[in-house]
Amino acid sequence: MDSKKEDPPSQMREKKLFLDKEQAMVMIGFQGPPLSNKDRFGLEVLSSVLSAPLNGRLFLRIREEFGQSYTLGGGYTPGLDLGFIYFYVATNEESVYKVKDLLIEEIRALQKEKLSESELTVIKTYLKGSFTMALQTNAALSFASGLDELYGLGYNYYRRYGEEIDQVSPEGIQRLARTYLDPQKSAIVVTRPSPGRDLILLRTINGTDAE
């Protein structure tokens, strides 16, 4: 099988787009390790520390404290050759660049200070519970086992999940944040509502065609 590996960006790549949407959005992505790399479990924990619903740092900082997020999330998706780590926040046009700064601040905070054991325990419990629930049906378990066998990990690889998650430490999270979440090696996309969108909507409401 041909490898599709690619070096991470040597500097931050940022793309700004105008879309026919009411909301604005910030998305940031990083290159991650493949399925076979043991860092994958730590990165699942790390990404959930930031993006978990209700108690993730992005939720608490941007949605609860700053109060300018419609929805947010993120995660780590491993692949055979490479993986990717991503986070996103939907907000309003006026707050989009402030949200971008807050997102990067929270990433840097993971690099500078270790998590507390209590915060880490909450995230681990959330991940293990979600994983177990996702495999409750025969179809889901068969699909997961089949893919793991196909990828060379073994059909019963899923049984290691809880143990691997439990082994993740605060020091490990800090190391992973420093290794994989370098903002200077990220790809950022900022979307904003198209200029003149409000005028087009107003003409539509009034029954006139936009020129």
CB atoms within 10 A of CB 92: 15
The 3 state secondary structure assigned to 113-126 is CCCCHHHHHHHHHH
Query: What backbone phi and psi angles, to 5 degrees, belong to 32?
Result: -125, 175
Percent of the chain predicted with pLDDT > 70: 90
Q: How far apart are CA 175 and CA 73, in angstroms?
A: 22
74-122 confidence digits (pLDDT tens): 999 999 889 999 999 999 888 889 999 999 999 999 999 999 999 999 9
Closest C-alpha among 112, 122, 81, 86 to residue 175:
112
Longest Cα–Cα distance in the chain: 63
Structure-model confidence comparison of residues 7 and 3, the more confident one: 7
16-36 confidence digits (pLDDT tens): 999 888 889 999 999 999 998
pTM comes to 0.85
The separation between CA 16 and the C-alpha centre of its own chain, rounded to angstroms, equals 19
The answer to whether 173 touches 114, Cβ cutoff 8 Å, is yes
Q: Return the structure tokens found at 16.
A: 């700004």
Domains in the chain with CATH codes: 13-205 (3.30.830.10)
Rg (alpha carbons) of the chain, rounded to whole number: 20
Determine the pLDDT at residue 9. Answer: 79
Q: How far apart are CA 142 and CA 15, in angstroms?
A: 40
The answer to whether 178 touches 167, Cβ cutoff 8 Å, is no
Please list, residue by residue across 125-155, b when 16 or more beta carbons sit within 10 angstroms of its beta carbon and e when fewer do.
Answer: ebbeeeeeeebeeeeeeeebbeebeeeeeee
Residue 47 has pLDDT above 50, yes or no: yes
Closest C-alpha among 162, 163, 155, 173 to residue 76:
173
209: pLDDT confidence band, cut at 50, 70 and 90? very low
